[in-house]
Amino acid sequence: MTIPVMVSDRHLELDDVPLEAEINGNDTADTELSPPPSPTVARPTKFDIVAAVGSSIRSITSAVSEVLHLTPQGDTNGALTAPFLVNANQLSKLANERTRDALADLLEDAISSDKGGKFRAENPGAGIEMTKIKDSTTAEDDVESPNIEMKHRTLMTRLIKRLRRSQPPEGSKDEHIYFRDAEIAASTLTEYVLRSNAEAGLNPSAVGVEHRKTTFGQNAIADKKLDSFLKLCWDAMQDHVLILLIVLGIITIIMETTFALDPGESCGLCFLEGMAILVAVVIVVLVTASIDYAKQFAFIKLTRSLHATNTKVVTRGGEQINVTDDEIVVGDILSVNSHNLASIPADCVLLGPTSGSLLKMDESSLTGESKLISKRPGDVILSGTTANSGTGKMVVIAVGINSVAGKIKARVYESDTLNEEDDDFESEGKTPLFAKLDHIAHQIGLGGSVAAVISFLALFAKLDHIAHQIGLGGSVAAVISFLAMSIIGLAINGEPATKLVDYLVVAITVLAVAVPEGLPLAVTLSLAFSSNKMTKDMNLVKHLDACETMGSATTICTDKTGTLTANKMTVRAMYLASTNYICDNPSITLGQYVLSHTRRPSEDMISLITKVIAIATMNESNLVFSDNNDHVTSSSGNPTEVALLLLAHDLGVNYRDLRNETRGRASTGVLAEHYGEGRMIGFSSARKMMSWAVPLFKDGQIVGYRLYSKGAAEVMTARSSTVLTLEGEKALDGDGREVLADTAEKYARRGMRCIGLAYKDLPVDADFEAKHVEMRNSDGKEALSVETDMVFLGLVGIEDPLRKEVPGAISKCYEAGIDVRMVTGDSPNTAVSIAYQGGILKDFHFKHSDTDTVSELGVDGQENEKEMVASHLKDNILMEGKAFREKVYRTTEDGKQEFDQQAFDAIWPHLRVLARSSPDDKLTLAHGLNQSTLYTNKDTVRKLKKEDNIIIFPDRQVVAMTGDGTNDAPALKRADIGFAMGIAGTQIAKDAADIILLDDNFASIVTAAKWGRNVYASIQKFLQFQLTVNISAVTIALVGSFAYQQSPLAAIQLLWVNLLMDSLASLALASEPPIEELLQRPPVNRSDNIVTKRMFFNMTGQAAYQLIVIMVLLFEGPELLGMDPGHLVEKDGGLGDGWKKQNSRHYTLIFNAFVWMQLFNEVNCRNLRGEFRVFKGIHRNPLFVGILLGTAVVQVILVQYGEPVFHTAPGGLSGPDWVLCLVVGAFSLPIQQFLNVLYKFSKYKYKNLREKKRVAKDRELIYRAVPGGGSVGSAGERSNRTK
């Protein structure tokens, strides 16, 4: 029996795949064609056989499905929810083993499961086990038997047996049959086992999709298990300062309720102070844990946002649709390509292509093998791998935790050893900000520790004893001194042992105030706040530290298409058959303009150009039409291809119909089974073109191929030897090439992307892998021979208008000291046009030589010297990729290419536009800029400033790079900040990036820079506030310890101040929104101290004012205000015999005045550069206002009603006391204005003093006498020199 395989108008009688020969006991018939071809019909070639076999696949699998009563696309819920023949574990086994034997096992399991194993029960002798299948035909397994079900079961059994064969030698006659069997098995798996359809995909019904999710699982891994709130509280309590406070709080309660009581004395509320310490610890722990808890949800939100951008193309109901990775189910038909659908979201089995360029996969992420793996139909494609070249259609077999990558991810999430380094919120290395913060935190913590030790020692003895002991000999002697003076202090001063606890509490509390544990909190809050706000501004931040790094960016290397331009491409010009069609009327399309033109192209010409467009475009580029197909409602895919498809539509041709009517190109419909007869040569950045070959027929037989191609204009022109005119094809001579080049340049000057269209007829035995001897790709490798000597058809000019907000954004970059460089694959003139419109190029970048002659005229008779074109740019302002590579790479003695940093440093200060570039050029640019130390060469820096007015940033370049393609990923990873396009970007680019631009807009990058600088500024504001409190609070505690062996600020009050300046202030100042002035300052220098001179001046000035106020109140307050000294009131017997200590009005006044000075200074700290309007913009930050007012209200409550707990005077303070506290607090505002003026004056005086010294030194050198008498130069010469 033979299966007729349609090849055009005739049939090839090909042995049944040739499984039928096996069934009849003839294993040698695999490659025989029966009957032999007649003399009038050419014998089919090997390719005919492969193509014919491919066309038989659907008939076989459809027949199997039909016989076994399957309804892959059934409409009833019963059919959609019927049980499957295999389960998720069996499919997962195939993905794990990835062998033909595993595929055979799966099909065997499916047969066994079908109808409850009825076939096995009815045929115990034959069985399903392959080793027991007889080679001879019996009545039971004869495929001619009336038992049609048994016939196809036998056919499946034989297919399984053939899958277990070993691979024949490469190039042997049996090799194509070996691969064909796997292809048939893949189709059988799709339709018989998974009830899907290679053409129509799954039924789009939600019922069927949900049933598949229930049966095989969802394509999502359960979210990482969140740490419970109690666990986070426990983690927060591991801070050593908090542990000390807990211990001391417990000791205080024990001491106050036992040893500190006199005989017969009742405790009452004596435990409150120790309890208050514990409550303060609880508050700090709860605040820290709450923030960490919220951070977990922020991470989940970020993850979900990233997942929402991960979309793939699947076929459902015969239509290609975009779905997120999570929505993919087992049985989906997934389309992938190496351009914008490269990442594989689930384990799959490849269905096609059956011929042409094979799909090549990069599996290094899972296997570690860097070599690309070629895939054929029937091969397993693993999740987490990427398509490096080619396209493919595949059926999904395992999703979520059943996939290979999913299992790995699940094991990671379940691991108890997972640490925070795996969290996407943590950076692998320290950013400039974190490096500075680590340094300053170490300094503050060290200083705080020393201060706490000194305070602790001072509470036991006099200052001279401590100074004497500390001066004797370092740390060891200090510890010995501490122990000795502890004994002396207790013995000499007669203090009770319970005072030891008080001393410890005060010392540890000073340490708590000094150690900046709020600094990490401020950083986290600022980064989290900024990242959330940036998302609203179209910047999806993947790594929080990228926010801060962007604030230091000195260079932005940006793409053109879709970033600087709107990515709404429209064909506005076309050169066809010596006629230049340019549509300047925005109200009509180019297609309408061409059809109404007096020199309208012939129908044959229109047919040919629309064929090139429809055939040589990817399946993923599509137009969505209205219900009546009269207009386009939306589109998807590559913007350039979408523009070409729109042109075809406007010319009156339905590109879908054209595709589906072209054998070898149709992927749906009746011709889809012949899809493998075509040959697709996908686009690559090296070739800068894409081609698709479809078979040509004569008398029903393939007699050759026609190759349709599109690509960069200069590439297509160079690869064409003839051109199609109204008179037919003619040789493309020098004049013809010049006309095409001039036309392309005119399009480019108008900012258009110029695309060339061509075709070529090939013989039936054409070698699609052969290389051309002379023609080269842009990367220097040999070009494909089939893509040379083509017939040039025409040029199209695609307009992509500049985004209206781009010029303003680029202008802001230059004001902010950020260089902008454009890296594009477009032609130089197109790149120059867009760069000039956007403001990357200025007039001074062009040469306007007086020697230009009037004879050099451009379009419209204008002189070329007035045209902003590539040829008029100064040296190194624009470079093409090839010239760039030749200059920055040198060839070593062993013939290898080596990067030349010195040559690169001679170019990059001038470079503004890199045209005709490749992704490798991006990587080179990012690497060279990042490694450049040109700023250390002061002579070169001065020369560039003097001769070219180029200012070199005085530190290493911090590079931001944009990218959208898979090949851009290395450059995005190499740059300091990688920006991926959220709309046009591939998944690989998004995975490599730090920030995703949700709108693909350059203006959003500028917004990111502003927010990045705001993060740095917010941390500076918090530091300015915290360090001011540090200086004053620690000094007050030390002075009180030395003077009265008691701090004027009680431990619980210091803890309130600590909470105020750490948690609340960090939240208030970290939420400050960015201001436009941030982009009027230079980038943050990595080597600069985070605490600037002005900040230090502000801190010391405000701290000095606070200390003066507190010292006056401490030592002179009782006399001036008529109150008892606090150190006596709070000491038993302090005011006479029988006096019982109590909370003093004196110390309460000091505490209240101190806090109010901090609150008003918090307003001052909103500004860092001496701004006089300290309240400017405060209404834009309601959180700051709310925290400030809330803190003020709490302070009033603590002072007036917190007497038992917060160590305040009974009844609080009087009205005059409150007025005094508010006045000294508010006086911090005019003090800040005085500091601003004083700083500017001192800076001006210092500058003048330096200038005077310099002039005096120069004058001394001029007039200095030379040995032997006389002076340097005559009096007249000296006079001239001093002018």
The catalytic residues are: 559
What is the spatial distance between Cα 74 and Cα 16, in angstroms, rounded to a whole number?
A: 29
Query: Which amino acid is it at 1148?
Result: T
What is the spatial distance between Cα 753 and Cα 868, in angstroms, rounded to a whole number?
A: 17
Tokens of 661: 């009517």
What is the spatial distance between Cα 194 and Cα 201, in angstroms, rounded to a whole number?
A: 11
- Other CB atoms within a 10 A radius of the CB of residue 1001 amount to 24
ω before 18 within 30° of 0 (cis)? yes
Tokens of 339: 């351009």
Angstrom CA distances, 545 to 276, 539, 1255, stand at 37, 14, 46
Tokens of 1267: 């040995």
What is the spatial distance between Cα 640 and Cα 84, in angstroms, rounded to a whole number?
A: 43
What is the spatial distance between Cα 928 and Cα 1011, in angstroms, rounded to a whole number?
A: 26
Beta strands in 484-553 (DSSP E): 539-541
Please classify residue 920 by burial: count the beta carbons closer than 10 Å to its beta carbon, then call 0-12 exposed, 13-18 middle and 19+ buried.
Answer: middle
Please classify residue 431 by burial: count the beta carbons closer than 10 Å to its beta carbon, then call 0-12 exposed, 13-18 middle and 19+ buried.
Answer: buried
Beta strands in 476-523 (DSSP E): none
Tokens of 639: 């913007």
Tokens of 1148: 């309460």
Please classify residue 257 by burial: count the beta carbons closer than 10 Å to its beta carbon, then call 0-12 exposed, 13-18 middle and 19+ buried.
Answer: middle
What is the spatial distance between Cα 333 and Cα 328, in angstroms, rounded to a whole number?
A: 9
Query: Residue 984 phi/psi, 5° resolution?
Result: -90, -10
Query: Which amino acid is it at 752?
Result: M
Residues 6+ apart with CB under 8 A from 1234: none
Terminal Cα-to-Cα distance of the chain (whole angstroms): 110
Is residue 718 within 8 A of residue 1000, CB to CB? The reply is no
Three-state DSSP at 541 gives strand
Tokens of 753: 């992307």
Residues 6+ apart with CB under 8 A from 430: 438
Query: Which DSSP symbol is given to 728?
Result: E
Torsion angle of C-alpha atoms 1237, 1243, 1244, 1248, degrees rounded to 10? 160
Task: Give the residue among 11, 19, 92 at the shortest CA–CA distance from 55.
Answer: 11
Residues in the chain: 1283
Is residue 313 within 8 A of residue 439, CB to CB? The reply is no
What is the spatial distance between Cα 424 and Cα 996, in angstroms, rounded to a whole number?
A: 14
Three-class DSSP labels, 1086-1125: CCCCCCCHHHHHHHHHHHHHHHHHHHHHHHHHHHHHCCCC
Residues linked to residue 352 through DSSP beta bridges, in sequence order: 393
Beta strands in 385-518 (DSSP E): 386-389, 391-398
The DSSP bridge pattern shows strands 347-352 and 380-381 to be: antiparallel
Is residue 1001 within 8 A of residue 956, CB to CB? The reply is no
Cα angle 316, 318, 323; round to 5: 30
What is the spatial distance between Cα 998 and Cα 1000, in angstroms, rounded to a whole number?
A: 6
